A and B are shown apart, each in its own frame.
Chain A
Amino acid sequence: MPAGANEQPILKITGLKKSFGPIQALRGVDFELLRGEVHALAGENGAGKSTLMNIIDGILKPDAGEIRLDGEVVSITSPAMAQKLGIGFVHQEIALCPDITVAENIFMGVTASSRSVLMNYSSLERRAAEILHRLGDIDPTVLVRTLSISQQQLVEIAKALTLDCRILILDEPTAALTEREAQVLFEIMRKLTTQGISIIYISHRMAEIFDNCDRVTVLRDGQYITTMNVAETTPAAVVSAMVGRVIDDLYPPKQDAADRSDHVILDVRKLSERRRFQDISFQLRRGEILGLAGLIGAGRSEIAKGVCRLEGEVTGEVWLHGRKLSLGQYADSIAEGIVYLSEDRKGDGLFLDMSIATNVSALKVEQVASALGVIDERAEKAQAEQLGARLNLKCSHVSQPVSALSGGNQQKVAIAKMLSVGPNVIFLDEPTRGVDVGAKSEIHRILRELARSGVGIVVISSELPELIGVCDRVLVVREGRIAGELTGEEMTEDRIIYLASMGDERRLAS
C-alpha cells in the first residue's frame, strides 16, 4: 500500500461524461489517484480508458464532470496546460522525431518553451545522459532512427520525466519491451513513487498489474465498474470485471493425446542468415503449437521471416510435409502455404485505409479472380465474410475500412488474411499485442482450433505467460541461435528467461 493512503487524493475525478456524436465514450466515470501510488487502469479496448486519459491530458474536453487536482477544481484545456499542472503522458504510440538526436527529442518540450535563441547542445546532452542513465544504456547523441522500438519507448519515458511531473500516465509502456526491459521500467516506477509521484498505469497484462500496482480501477463500456486493492483481489476477478462475464480459463486447453502426432509438417534444417541467425534446426509436428521465445533482437522474428523468405540471404533447407522446398521469394512461400503474420499490424500488416475484404484477399487476390485476372468482388466479399464469421470478427460490413475497427478486430482481419490462402504453416509474431483481453482469448482459442485442424502454428511472443499458456513446446532463441527447448512442465518463466539471457550478464543483472 502507498504511504499515507488516507490523505487527500492528488487527483479526484467525479461524474466525467464525454460523447462523440451518438457514441457515449464516458458515462459518468469516477477515478481517484493517491499520492505515490501506482494505480492501474484496466478495461477492454473501447472501455473508455484512452478517452479518460486524453481528458486528463487536456486533449479532449469533457461534456460534464469535475476534475480536482489537490482538492482544487481545474479545467485542463490543452496538453501544454496539463504539463504545467505536472501531468506527464507517455503515449502508447511512439511520437519521436526520427532524424534528430535522442537528447534533442527528450528536451523538445523544454526547448520549445525556452527563451534562448541558440541551442546549447552540450548541456542538452549532459542532462539527457543523466536521465537516460536511470533508464538504461542509450547514447543521447545518436539519432532516434537508429534505436530499436524498445529503446525509443524508453526515450519517450525519459521525455516525460524531464517535465517534473506529479502525475505520470503510462499507456501500455511495456507493449514493445522485453521482460528484462520491462523489469527495469518497473524499478524506475517504484523509485518515482518514493519521490511522491503518482502513476496511472494502463495495461492489458494482468501479471504486470498484480506485480507492480497498488490499486486497480476497471472501466467497461464507458462506465466505472470498480476499484480494488491489488493485494485483495485476483487476476480472474479483474478480468471478469473487465469483460462483464466470468472467464474461467484465460488460455484454451493444451494439446491432448488425440492431437499428438508424429507427422512433421515443417522441418527446418540448418537455416542460417549471415548476420541474423545461425544453424537453426527445428521440427513442427501436426497438432502442436510451437513457441519462439527470446529477447527482442535475439532473432526470433528474423528466423520466422527467414523461413518464409521475406528477407535476408538465407542458406539451409526447409521441408514441408516431407518435401524439400526450393524457396525463392515470399510469394513462393505463400504459394506453398507458409505465411507470416507481422508483429507491426499497422506498419506492415494491414492496409488501414482499404476495406476489410480487400485486406483479407491481399495474399492471393488471384483466388477471388477469374483466370484472366478479373476480380469477382462478390467472391472477395464472401471470402471475407466467411473467414470473419469463423474468427468472430465484429464489423458492420466487410466494405468498411480496417482503420474503423478496434485493435482486436484488426488483428482478426490480419489473421483472416493468413487463413485466406489455406495455409500449411502460420508464423504469428506477437499475435495479441495491443489486443484486449476478450479478443486475446478468442485468438488463443482460434490458434488451438487451427492446430487441431492440421495447420502448423508457430507463435512468437514477448509475453511469457502467453507463450507458456498457449504453446505445447517452446524454443528459446538467444543471439541468433536456439539456446534450448522446453516442453510441458519445463515451460516456466524462470527457465525461459534463463535460457534467453544466459551468458549475458549485463542483462541478467537487474
Chain B
Amino acid sequence: MAVTVTTSGKRSLLAGGVADTIGRLLRMRETGLILIILALFVAMSFASPYFLTWNNMRAMAMAFAVEGIVVVGMTILLISGGIDLSVGSVTALAMVIAGLLFLAGVDPWIASAVAILACTAIGAGMGLVVTRIGLHHFIVSLGVMVIARGLCLLGTGGRPLGLYTLPAEFKFIGQGMIGPIPLVIIIFVVVVIAFDFLLRRTTMFRKVFYTGSNEKAAAYSGIRTKRVVFLTTTLCSALCGVAGVIYMARFGSAQPTFGIGMELNVIAAAVIGGASLSGGTGTIFGAILGTILLSVVSSSLALLDVSVYWQDIIRGSILLTAVTIDHYLNKRRG
C-alpha cells in the first residue's frame, strides 16, 4: 500500500496586516451606519434648505441625546443577554417621583436623587427576579412596564404635573447652554464616551460580553454570571432614572404618559447598531449611531412633511433592512 508523504502548510500566527485591518473596518457595522447617515445628510441638504442649519442640528441632537442615555443602558443589557421593555415607563416614573416630591416641598436635587434611586431599586428588583427565580427578562420587564405606568398615572391622576417653580439652577441641566452647545448634549457625549470606553476596555464590562456570548462557558470560566446580569439590569433602570430627571429639567414638568413606545425605539437603535437579541455582541458607538440614524430619519421626514403614520412604517422598515443586511454579512463571514 502506497502512502504519499506531505506536510500540511501552516498559516502564520501573525496578524494579517494593513489590508486586513481595512477589510475589517469596512465590514464593521459602524462604518456602514456612518456612510448611510452622511448620505442622508447630503440628500437632505439638497431637499430642504433648513436641514443643515445650526438650529435644526441642535434640535435633532436634543431629540436623541436624552434617549441616547437609555440606549446606553439597553445596549449593555442586551449584550449581557437580557432585555428591558420597561424603560419608557421607568423613565416616566422617575419624572413623576421627582415631580411629586418637589411639589411636596422637597429640594429638587434631593427629589431627583430619590427618583434615580427608586429606578435603580426597580432594576435591582427585576434583576433579582430574573437571576434568583429564573424568569425571563422579557416577561419580568413587561410586567414592570405596566406596573410603572400604572404608578405614574396613579400618582398624578393622569395629568401632567406643571413644575413652574423649579429653580433655574435645576432647569439648567435640561435647558442650559455651555457656549453654543446645550448642556444636555454635553452630558450625553460624556456618558457615551465613558461607557463606550468602559465596555470596550475594562475587565468588568468584558465579563458582560462573556456572559452574553455563552452564559455557561462564562460560569465555567469562573465568572459570576448571575451577578453580571443583575448588575446590567440594575444599570439600565438607573440610567432610565437619570434620563427621566433630565427630561423633567428640560420640560419643566412631569408627564405620566411620557415615553410610551420608547422601549421599541431604544431596542431598535441598539439592534441597528449591532447589538444582538441573543447577547454577546454590540457596541455603544454603534447603538448611538443607530439612535442618530433613526432620529435623522424622523426629523427628515417631518421636514419633508411626510405624514406621521408613514414615519412609523419607514422606521420599522429601516430596522428590518438593517437586521437583514447584517444577517447576510455575518453569514458570509462565517
- Listed in ascending order, the chain A residues whose CB lies under 8 Å from chain B are 221, 225-226, 228, 233, 237, 240-241, 244-246, 310, 329-331, 333-334, 340, 342, 347-354, 358, 362-366, 369, 373-375, 377, 381, 385, 388-389, 393-399, 401, 403-404, 417
Q: Is the CB of B201 within 8 A of A363?
A: no
Q: Is the CB of B216 within 8 A of A245?
A: no
CA distance A353 to B209 in the complex (A): 10
Known: A241-B3, A353-B280, A354-B280. 13 other contacts (CB 8 A): A221-B8, A225-B3, A237-B1, A240-B3, A241-B1, A245-B7, A334-B221, A348-B214, A353-B281, A393-B13, A397-B13, A399-B24, A404-B334
CA distance A108 to B134 in the complex (A): 31
B133 within 8 A of A: no
B219 within 8 A of A: yes
CA distance A353 to B214 in the complex (A): 9
Contact of A237 with B3 at beta-carbon distance under 8 Å, contacts A375-B206, A399-B15 already known? yes
Q: Is the CB of A352 within 8 A of B214?
A: yes
CA distance A233 to B2 in the complex (A): 12
List, in ascending order, chain B residues with CB within 8 A of A334's CB: 221-222
List, in ascending order, chain B residues with CB within 8 A of A330's CB: 219-220, 222
Q: Is the CB of B13 within 8 A of A395?
A: yes
CA distance A342 to B159 in the complex (A): 58
Binary interface profile of B, 220-235, with partner A (CB < 8 Å = 1, else 0)?
1111100000000000
Instruction: Name the contact of A374 in the complex, choosing from B7, B8, B202, B207 (C-beta under 8 A).
Output: B202
Q: Tell me how far the C-beta of A415 lies from the nearest C-beta in chain B, rounded to whole angstroms.
A: 14
Q: Is the CB of B11 within 8 A of A394?
A: yes
Q: Is the CB of A351 within 8 A of B11?
A: no
Q: Is the CB of A394 within 8 A of B10?
A: yes
B214 closest partner in A (C-beta): A351
B20 within 8 A of A: yes
- Listed in ascending order, the chain B residues whose CB lies under 8 Å from chain A are 1-8, 10-16, 20, 24, 201-204, 206-207, 209-210, 213-214, 216-224, 280-281, 334
B10 closest partner in A (C-beta): A394
Q: Is the CB of A354 within 8 A of B209?
A: yes
List, in ascending order, chain B residues with CB within 8 A of A237's CB: 1, 3
CA distance A390 to B2 in the complex (A): 33
B212 closest partner in A (C-beta): A351
12 A–B contacts, CB within 8 A, in A order: A233-B1, A241-B1, A329-B222, A331-B222, A348-B220, A351-B210, A351-B218, A363-B222, A373-B202, A375-B201, A388-B13, A397-B13
Q: Is the CB of B16 within 8 A of A396?
A: yes
Contact of A389 with B220 at beta-carbon distance under 8 Å, contacts A240-B3, A375-B202, A404-B334 already known? no
Q: Tell me how far the C-beta of A246 lies from the nearest C-beta in chain B, rounded to whole angstroms.
A: 7
Q: Tell me how far the C-beta of A222 lies from the nearest C-beta in chain B, rounded to whole angstroms.
A: 13
Q: Is the CB of B5 within 8 A of A244?
A: yes
Q: Tell me how far the C-beta of A193 lies from the nearest C-beta in chain B, rounded to whole angstroms.
A: 25
Question: How would you classify the secondary structure of chain B's contact residues: helix, strand, loop or mixed?
Answer: loop
Question: How would you classify the secondary structure of chain A's contact residues: helix, strand, loop or mixed?
Answer: mixed
A241 closest partner in B (C-beta): B3
Q: Is the CB of B1 within 8 A of A310?
A: no
CA distance A354 to B279 in the complex (A): 12
Q: Is the CB of B6 within 8 A of A351?
A: no
A341 closest partner in B (C-beta): B220
CA distance A137 to B4 in the complex (A): 46
Instruction: Name the contact of A363 in the complex, choosing from B206, B221, B281 (C-beta under 8 A).
Output: B221
A388 closest partner in B (C-beta): B13
A243 closest partner in B (C-beta): B8
List, in ascending order, chain B residues with CB within 8 A of A403's CB: 334
CA distance A377 to B5 in the complex (A): 40
Q: Is the CB of B6 within 8 A of A244?
A: yes
Q: Tell me how far the C-beta of B222 lies from the nearest C-beta in chain A, rounded to whole angstroms.
A: 4
CA distance A398 to B13 in the complex (A): 7
List, in ascending order, chain B residues with CB within 8 A of A363's CB: 221-222
List, in ascending order, chain A residues with CB within 8 A of B6's CB: 244-245
B207 closest partner in A (C-beta): A365
List, in ascending order, chain B residues with CB within 8 A of A233's CB: 1
Q: Is the CB of B217 within 8 A of A350?
A: yes
CA distance A373 to B2 in the complex (A): 58
Q: Is the CB of A395 within 8 A of B3?
A: no
Contact of A358 with B13 at beta-carbon distance under 8 Å, contacts A244-B4, A329-B224 already known? no
Q: Is the CB of A374 within 8 A of B201?
A: yes
CA distance A225 to B213 in the complex (A): 40
Q: Tell me how far the C-beta of A45 lies from the nearest C-beta in chain B, rounded to whole angstroms.
A: 12
List, in ascending order, chain A residues with CB within 8 A of B334's CB: 401, 403-404
Q: Is the CB of B13 within 8 A of A362?
A: no
Instruction: Name the contact of A366 in the complex, choosing from B8, B203, B217 (C-beta under 8 A).
Output: B203
A361 closest partner in B (C-beta): B206
